[in-house]
Structure 1
Amino acid sequence: MTVRIVVADDQAMVRAGLRMVVESEPGMEVVGEAGDGMEAVAVARRLLPDVVLMDISMPRMDGLAAARQLLGGPNPPKIIMLTTFDTDENLYAALRAGTSGFLLKVSPPEQLVEAIKVVAAGDSLLDPAVTTRVIASFAGRHEPVRPPRLSELTPRELEVLRRLARGLTNAEIAAELFVGEATVKTHVARVLMKLRLRDRAQAVVFAYESGVVRPGVEAG
């Protein structure tokens, strides 16, 4: 099955380079390009790609705003943010937007190809430990806001969410709660569904920003 990709970057040479890398890999196809955020939204909504490679800094609408529009709409693609600078600010912004991760533009071609494969398969590019560290650092700057939908979680689902916020894997959560991994997987799926979140990274953001866990406090 071919992975369909849209490339969004305001530099034509960068788009050409990304296209060359992607289309040298069997099973991947660039189906469209965009030179700014507004065009990226329009192209992705028209072509319905599996993955969008999205530059953070673009004219008219930046990549993060474009990502939010796409991820908030029907049939959202997986989005990999492309950036020149490896900063926690960029990573946190990408996480809050609900993207599958971000990649430096100077990354080697094989890393780009692997990233596309990972997100196309439904996984996140982000290391759980890094994700938790960054979110804890930035979320702690604001007073938590407890959304009403948090009350939809059962006590056990709340325990699972707290452990997700610590960056634990399903196996680690299962060991702490003395249940099977399959049970944990079911709980995680229900947490994401009830809170209307796309993935574990968004669950970590939600846990900190809602006050379920607090920076510097061990989640129990």
Structure 2
Amino acid sequence: MLRIIIADDQASVREGLVVLLGGLPDIDVVAAAADGEQALALVAEHQPDAILLDLHMPVLDGIETTRRLKADHAQVAIVVLTTYLDDSSVLDALRAGARSYLTKDADRKDIANALHAAADGLSVLDPRARATLMTAAAPQSSPQSSTLPDGLTQREAEILRLIAQGLTNPEIAARLFLSGHTIKTHINRIFAKTGSADRTAAIGYARRHGVS
């Protein structure tokens, strides 16, 4: 039995989801919230397995609620259910710690599957949200991309640009939706190809070669 909380500021949507999901044999809706502050309080009280969370709510929006949940209740899986598919909404939610991202045209089976998957540590993304994510993670084109120096790949050049902008490894990983280990591996290759002993040297290299 998966214990969940539902948070949505629209009463009709919230109550509909309670009935829709509460009727399933493997889901127990333990509480419902009308805003982010209520959601945080109810999570602290009930300690659910997962929360189904709208993004745009009064008092405390879904993004900030997600951040606080990750900080204070990291064991609770966060599934976003929203009408918004713009780049900012999708990326901000995932960066804040949401595990899955669905739109409100998802059916009951899809929502239930996403909740169970999230509780098991897996991610489920609406296909349109996935497309947004892939676009954001793709290397950005640049005038130098076809003639990169010293055998740098486009991904390595992109990471070198972010290093030159002063981003840390965790910040680069979050920006590109890559693991910290992957970023470290790319940076080691960048250092080897550019003959850089450290980040300062790599930044100097980037500026000399117009990569930054």
TM-score by length of 1: 0.61
Worse-superposed segment, 61-70 or 111-120: 111-120
1:113 corresponds to? 112
Q: Distance in 1 between matches of 2:124 and 2:185?
A: 16
1:133–1:162 CA distance, 2 compared to 1 (3 A): farther
Give, in angstroms, the shift of residue 149 of structure 1: 11
Counterpart for residue 37 of structure 2: 38
Per the TM alignment, residue 85 of structure 1 is displaced from its structure 2 partner at its CA by: 2.2
Pairwise CA distance, 1:31: 0.3
The equivalent of 2:136 in structure 1 is 134
Partner of 1:92: 91
Whether 2:167 is the aligned partner of 1:145: answer yes
Question: What letter corresponds to residue 96 of structure 2 in structure 1?
Answer: A
Q: Name the amino acid aligned to 1:89.
A: S
- Asked whether the equivalents of residues 50 and 78 of structure 1 are also in contact (C-alpha less than 8 Å), the reply is yes
Partner of 1:18: 17
Aligned length: 158
CA offset digits 1:63-104 (Å, max 9, x no partner): 110110011114531001121122222110111101102111
Using the TM superposition, name which of 132-141 and 54-63 deviates more.
Answer: 132-141
Alignment of structure 1 residues 56-75 onto 2, 5 Å: 56-75=55-74
Distance 1:137 1:67 in 2: 27
**In the alignment, residue 168 of structure 2 is paired with which amino acid?**
R
- Radius of gyration: which is bigger? 2
What secondary structure sits across from 1:82 in the alignment? strand
1:79 aligned counterpart, secondary structure: strand
Whole-angstrom distance in 1 between the partners of 2:91 and 2:48: 24
| TM-score for both structures, normalised by structure 2 | 0.64
Q: Residues 134 and 6 from structure 1, CA distance in 2 versus in 1: closer, same or farther, beyond 3 angstroms?
A: same
Q: Distance in 2 between matches of 1:17 and 1:161?
A: 42
Q: 1:25 to 1:96 in 2, by over 3 A?
A: same
SS in 1 for 2:72: coil
Report the Cα offset of residue 133 of structure 1.
2.9
Structure 2, unmatched stretches of 5+, are 141-157, 173-178, 187-212
Distance 1:88 1:10, change over 3 A: same
Distance 2:124 2:115 in 1: 9
2:199 alignment partner in structure 1:
none
Distance in 2 between the 1:95 and 1:164 partners? 23
* Whole-Å separation in 1 of the counterparts to 2:46 and 2:84: 29
Go from structure 1 to structure 2 and tell me whether the alpha carbon gap of 1:162 and 1:67 turns closer, same or farther (over 3 Å shift): same
* Root-mean-square deviation over aligned CA pairs: 3.4
**Residue identity (%):** 32
